[in-house]
Amino acid sequence: MDQNYLYSENCAKELDQKDPLKDYRAEFYIGNAIYLDGNSLGLLSKRAEKSLMTILHSWKKYGIDGWTNGDNPWFYLSQDLGKKLAPLVGAQAEEVIVTGSTTTNIHQLVSTFYKPTSKRYKILADDTTFPSDIYALKSQLKLKGYNPSEALIQVKSQNDILLEEQIIDQMKQDVALILLPSVLYRSGQILDMKRLTAEAHKRNIVIGFDLCHSIGAIPHELDTWDVDFAMWCTYKHINGGPGSVGALYVNKKHFGQDPGLSGWFGSRKDIQFEMKHELTADVDAGAFEIGTPHVLSMAPLIGSLHMFDEAGIDSIRKKSLALTDYMIDLITYELKEFGFEIVTPLEHAKRGGHILLKHPYSASICKALKSVRIIPDYREPNFIRLGPVALYNSFHDIWKTIQSLKQIMTEETYKNFANKRDIIA
């Protein structure tokens, strides 16, 4: 193919014409911007809006009877949505529950599976994971009487990339539990969850993963890989809305364990309203619920997950890779003289759903992009995240973004903006 055509606007439009998922773009409220921050907060879809309004109407119509009446009875909504999420993580329906938030679910699962002894008491993590994970792990260690500076091991990254061999080298006899990200939130690197789980289990170490930056962007096989537990949010690639309810996975081999944090909705549903002061925990992942479900924050997921069921995660992943391949090609061709470094791994097996660029003026460049209605994401200390989402971003979005970025750099308009982050980066 002629190189001039390959990098032309017409080529981008042709790629969009051939895209089997192109019709989903019309399902979302995109506005007049190019939105590339779906790995931070996904856009609202018309189906999510409809399902939210349907649940709101059930409250209006039924009052308290909405717990058991209507199209989506609230009492069973966490389980019903868990069934819809299960295929996205390669799990059985009863192993997934929609509940809590990422951080509360980390506390729940770590308090359940972290069982230190005098010889095995350390927790293994990494230095690139999202801060909330480390806050929770340090808190759990303190609650058990340990000093996090000694009992928390954080594998050191190299330029925001983790080497799996170094993680495995730290799986020593004093490690009781491992919690790692599936996809690193800055670099977009995918960790080999299958390999890391196998190596942990060789050493009798329980291992879990934070799927926040992979759920809805890449396929998972948690059951096949024999992962012990996982948790994630639903407001990024899943498009559940700001602060939408989190979810968790517990491998069925662990069913029957008492939850570390017991609560009202961890009860077995058929006897929950007997109101006994002795908890009879649910028989599956429902045991790890704590409080009453946040019904209105769960409602958009009904519509959103219907689209994932239609489109299929394999098709979504195929387009996601095509979008980021195209972005990498354009960056390499159009921006080579401007000092950008692509940090994200180029190999498909190691690349998640977004691209991380490093540049000394990243904060200024992000502001300049926003001034022309292109929405990126800035991350300290000098990174730009560009997260095209398969269901609503187009190849033409990518082409226009890189052309705008080239113009910003050529004309140096980024120098009109302070090179420091806003309150929310």
Q: Could you write out the DSSP letters of every residue in 154-202?
A: EEPPBTTB--HHHHHHT--TTEEEEEEESB-TTT-BBP-HHHHHHHHHH
Was 103 annotated as part of a binding site? yes
Q: Within a 10 A sphere around the Cβ of 15, how many other Cβ atoms?
A: 18
The distance of Cα 33 from the centroid of its chain, to the nearest Å, equals 23
Radius of gyration of the chain (CA): 22
Segment (H or E) for 98: strand 96-98
Segment (H or E) for 16: helix 9-18
The distance of Cα 383 from the centroid of its chain, to the nearest Å, equals 19
Segment (H or E) for 177: strand 175-181
Query: Could you tell me if 281 and 262 are in contact, meaning their C-beta atoms sit under 8 angstroms apart?
Result: yes
Query: Could you tell me if 231 and 88 are in contact, meaning their C-beta atoms sit under 8 angstroms apart?
Result: no
Was 73 annotated as part of a binding site? no
The span from the CA of 245 to the CA of 296, in Å, is: 9
In which residue are the tokens 């990126």 written?
376
Was 209 annotated as part of a binding site? no
The span from the CA of 267 to the CA of 36, in Å, is: 41
374-375 and 96-98: which strand pairing? unpaired
Was 234 annotated as part of a binding site? no
Was 232 annotated as part of a binding site? no
Helix residue spans in 312-423 (DSSP H)? 313-334, 362-371, 395-411
Was 213 annotated as part of a binding site? yes
The amino acid occupying position 16 is D
Query: Could you tell me if 316 and 391 are in contact, meaning their C-beta atoms sit under 8 angstroms apart?
Result: yes
Query: Could you tell me if 186 and 215 are in contact, meaning their C-beta atoms sit under 8 angstroms apart?
Result: no
Was 19 annotated as part of a binding site? no
The span from the CA of 309 to the CA of 4, in Å, is: 38
Was 130 annotated as part of a binding site? yes
Q: Could you write out the DSSP letters of every residue in 144-155?
A: TT--HHHHEEEE
Closest CA to 78 of 271, 285, 307: 285
The span from the CA of 142 to the CA of 348, in Å, is: 39
Q: Which two tokens stand for residue 149?
A: 């500076």
Was 294 annotated as part of a binding site? no
Three-class secondary structure of residue 345 per DSSP: coil
Q: What share of the chain is helix, strand, coil (3-state, %, to 5)?
A: 45, 15, 40
Was 68 annotated as part of a binding site? no
Was 235 annotated as part of a binding site? yes
Q: Which residues are known binding-site members for pyridoxal 5'-phosphate?
A: 102-103, 130-133, 210, 213, 235, 264, 292
Q: Which residues are known binding-site members?
A: 102-103, 130-133, 210, 213, 235, 264, 292
